[in-house]
Amino acid sequence: MPTDPSIRVGVRTRSLAEPRLQYIRQLGATDIFIDHADTDEEPDEFNDRDAGATLAVGRDEIPTVDALEAAKERTEAAGLSLTGIQSLPYSLYGDIMFGRDGREEALTQITTLIRNLGEADIPILGYQWNPRGVVPMRTGTVDLRGDAQGTAFDYDLLEAPDELAPGLDREYTEAEFWDNYEEFLETVLPVAEEAGVEMALHPVDPPVLESMCGIPRLCRSVEAFERAMGLVKSENHSLKLCLGCFSQMGEDVTEVLRTFGEHDQIGFIHFRDVVGTVPKFHETFVDEGNFETTGVIETLDDIGYDGVVIPDHVPEMTDDTDWRHRSRGYTVGYLRGVIDTVQ
């Protein structure tokens, strides 16, 4: 077994409480990505009475360099590496996406976060161009093996998908969204280059249609990601490559990895899978689904990927917590076993 494998297993967490960090290290994971502050988007159950138990990241909640360094020290004391911020909440980038009043303030806050991450030597900032909280990500759940629960999406179950989403007064065009996105990149990528921080873009989820509820869904295909990477050329721009999203698209995920790996455009990887493709699919355990886990790890090894894979959405198992300790622990162990076998 390799003593220092190039493919590492990380975990996303909002909590930095000592029991959570101990548990993650006990699993054999090595890297931490901190979740943002919006618990409506991403639930997480933890004891926030513990000083330093979390790091708030959101609109008007940009952590200082001191706060980031304290979080890094806390993480490293547990034998882990604080590798990045998992994602920006919609509350922080939504005004930029729609070109609304407040976008300049939001851009200032995001560039401040990037500079602070650079000063604290935290290398990755994940983000997405996805109207979270405006369009439903999932429409229900399904029973998996042993009556575990996996989230599901069925376009036919959406209520009024052709009507405008709540809060919108008109339909937006794809051209508008691409223009707003390009302006975002022109502002943030030079700052990221100067700070030494990598921006990693996540696909829209679910990747259905060109537009839904009056909102364009830009990052829904391989071609869209190639366009996104080419809008403003930068070595500090990459993918938060969600295997589950590309699997939902019906893509051969090993070919996707080769396509973007050739250009060194994979920042880190969300390792999950689904059964089915858009417009109807459901999430499942890491050892089930559309693709073969071993084949994906073999591809990552073949292209020389030396970054982090992290469990993303995981099923709900019996007596699990909001954060899914049991299911996340199973997924980390499974991935570590496959990586050790391949490498």
Binning pLDDT at 50, 70 and 90, where does residue 2 land?
A: very low
- Mean pLDDT, residues 208-220: 88
Collapsing DSSP to helix, strand or coil, 249 comes out as coil
For the segment 264-285, what is each residue's pLDDT rounded down to a tens digit?
999 999 999 999 999 999 999 9
- Quote the pLDDT of residue 166: 81
- Residues above pLDDT 70, as percent of the chain: 93
Work out the number of other CB atoms within 10 angstroms of the CB of residue 155.
15
For the segment 75-96, what is each residue's pLDDT rounded down to a tens digit?
999 999 999 999 999 999 999 9
Task: Give the CA count within 13 Å in the CB-facing half-sphere of 105.
Answer: 11
Side-by-side strand order, sheet with 280-283? 140-143, 149-154, 280-283, 274-277
- Mean pLDDT, residues 301-330: 95
CA distance 168 to 32: 36
Phi, psi of 60 (to 5 degrees): 65, 20
- Mean pLDDT, residues 317-326: 94
The 10 Å CB-count burial string (b at 16+, else e) for 273-305 is bbbbbbbbbbbbbbeebbbebeebbbbbbebeb
Which of 31-40, 101-110, 197-206, 252-261 is predicted least confidently? Answer: 31-40
Any idea where the domains of the chain sit in the sequence? Answer: 8-342
Single pTM value for the model: 0.94
- Quote the pLDDT of residue 289: 96
- Quote the pLDDT of residue 1: 34
> In the chain, count of helices (H) and strands (E)?
10, 14
Which among 121-135, 137-151, 210-224 has the top mean pLDDT? Answer: 137-151
- Quote the pLDDT of residue 195: 98
- Quote the pLDDT of residue 52: 64
CA distances from 40 to 150, 208, 279, 319 (A): 18, 23, 25, 21
- Quote the pLDDT of residue 53: 85
Per the CB < 8 A criterion, the answer to whether 313 and 273 are in contact is no
- Residues above pLDDT 90, as percent of the chain: 81
- Quote the pLDDT of residue 46: 63
50 has pLDDT over 70:
no
- Quote the pLDDT of residue 17: 93
Between 161 and 239, the higher pLDDT residue: 239
Task: Choose the CATH number for 8-342 among 3.10.20.740, 3.50.50.60, 3.40.50.12160, 3.20.20.150.
Answer: 3.20.20.150
Binning pLDDT at 50, 70 and 90, where does residue 3 land?
A: very low
- Quote the pLDDT of residue 5: 53
For the segment 137-191, what is each residue's pLDDT rounded down to a tens digit?
899 999 999 999 999 999 999 887 788 888 888 999 999 999 999 999 999 999 9
